[in-house]
Amino acid sequence: MSAATISPVTARADAFVAARLPEARALAARLVPLVELPDTFVSELEAGLESLADATYLDELRRMTPGMSEAFGVRTPLTRPIHTAVRRACRGRPDVALWVAERVEREPYFEVRAIACTLLRISLEADPERSWQLVRRMARAADSWVAVDILAGVAALGILIEPFRWAELEQLTYSPSPWERRFVGSTIATLPFEVVPEDRERLAPRPALDLLGQLIGDADQNVQKALAWALRSWARVDPTGVGQFLDVEARRSADEADGNRAWVVRDALPAVAPAEAARLRTIVAGIRRVPGAPGTSAASRAAAAFADLIATGTTNPIPRFEAAGPAGAAAPTAASLETAGPRAHEPERSLPE
């Protein structure tokens, strides 16, 4: 992009970042020796982030992430040196990484809590149980799509390390929290990018499409966006399965005039070939979301039925979805995890820098 085409808003943001980048790097350097002193680490981190804050960016962050509780408003390029320095300081020291992650997770500020996601990537393999419990606690406390989506990549890595964690994602399809339900879709969306491309087809036996099938029809728009994002991503793993899924759901949307379901189908159409996308678009043409309409997902109906059982004092277990793949299905190798790391992927949404 030439200087003549840069907008005044972008020019201001670039100048702000350039002026404060040395300060951000200096803060990162000061934090490195403090990783074994978590309380001091947090105090230094928060003081530094406050000095890097941009009020204009904070306003935009609040506009794009309604519901986010607290944030300093530090632009992403200014937080990158901090994440890089902390990751290097804790590399090979998973106990320290988890110690610091547990400490920063208790803070209210988005930028501080985000450090935990970087550190959990270090601690997950060495201490998966405690690390996963922290992931779940952060998902439960999430209050915005960006907090969910940053955490989703960590959860995806945890599932690759311990595939039985799929069962915990299944449980979250019934959650009353839309952010926990979004967490299911976002985790599936990021999962293909946590392995090298040649290993993605080995993920196909995993229950991703079954979980998305439990959630499609959800009335919450943040959940719907994550489901469509997940389907577009999962097409890199199982294009045939995604195509069949969209065909079934498009027809059901038309039969039931289900606007919530139809919206997800339309938004996921880049996952299939143009001719197939045109055919499916015709099937769901004119079917729109209705404000205030209840969810029609299998998970929401099961959750409602369970609530009714509690209200009437009766018990009848909700049928559980079987998380295990076919016997003998190969999992991504440890080498895949080691060489892949966090990979670039198509974000459902992204924050301005």
- pTM (predicted TM-score): 0.87
Going by the DSSP 8-state scheme, the letter that residue 165 receives in this structure is G
Confidence of residue 324 (pLDDT cuts 50, 70, 90): very low
Render pLDDT for 86-135 as a digit per residue (tens, 0 to 9): 999 999 999 999 999 999 999 999 999 999 999 999 999 999 999 999 99
Contacts of 172 (CB under 8 A, 6+ apart): 139, 180, 181, 183, 184
Where is pLDDT greater, at 188 or 351? 188
Domains of the chain (ranges, CATH numbers): 13-123 (no CATH), 142-353 (1.25.10)
Mean pLDDT in residue range 190-200: 95
Q: How far is Cα of residue 298 from the mean position of the Cα atoms in its chain?
A: 22
Does the pLDDT of residue 198 top 70, yes or no?
Answer: yes
Do residues 316 and 309 lie in contact, with contact meaning Cβ atoms separated by under 8 Å? yes
Q: Return the pLDDT at 207.
A: 95
Q: Return the pLDDT at 303.
A: 86
Neighbours of 1 (CB within 10 A): 7
Do residues 194 and 337 lie in contact, with contact meaning Cβ atoms separated by under 8 Å? yes
Show the beta-strand stretches assigned E in the chain: none
Q: Return the pLDDT at 51.
A: 97
Do residues 190 and 150 lie in contact, with contact meaning Cβ atoms separated by under 8 Å? no
Strand-pairing partners, residue 109, are 70
Q: Return the pLDDT at 328.
A: 40
Neighbours of 212 (CB within 10 A): 26
Amino acid at 8: P
Where is pLDDT greater, at 69 or 201? 201
Range of lowest pLDDT (60-64, 72-76, 221-225, 248-252): 60-64
Render pLDDT for 219-264 as a digit per residue (tens, 0 to 9): 999 999 999 999 999 999 999 999 999 999 999 999 999 999 999 9
Instruction: For residue 18, count CB atoms less than 10 angstroms from its CB and return exposed for 0-12, middle for 13-18, buried for 19 or more.
Output: exposed
Strand-pairing partners, residue 70, are 109
d(C-alpha 193, C-alpha 157), whole Å? 10
Helical H segments across 274-317, by residue range: 274-283, 298-312
